[in-house]
Structure 1
Amino acid sequence: MIFKVLFQERAEEAPVRERTKSLYVEANTEREVRTKLADRNINIEYVQGLNEEHLAYEKQSEDFEVENI
């Protein structure tokens, strides 16, 4: 399954919508996503599993790229 991760680049900062970034990770569970990203110094706001329709929508974005972790 593909998960969309919304995050802030610096773990110590409070979330600010204008600085929220996203990335896409392939994993089986949300816990696996968080484990894969644990070594990065980021503040994960939200992890969302994408169904087929939502994934098709996200793929239309030029910024869509699944991270290989």
Structure 2
Amino acid sequence: MIYRGVPYSVAPTVEPDVWQWQFQIGDDVKTGKTRTRLGAMAARRVQSKIDAALKLTSTAPVGQHNDGVDAP
């Protein structure tokens, strides 16, 4: 699936009501799990995480990483 130009995936795990997700922005890959009964809700949560990651990426000053440490 693609949200705001960012490919992402959401898949059920063997544990009931737990979904594993992944997305990549540039070279940065984010992964995690979320607990919900509905796949659509899991997808919406990943989309929210993508929005937050894109916001951090767009507000990072030139020459700085998102963690606030100056680039070498």
User: Structure 2-normalised TM-score?
Assistant: 0.36
Larger radius of gyration: 2
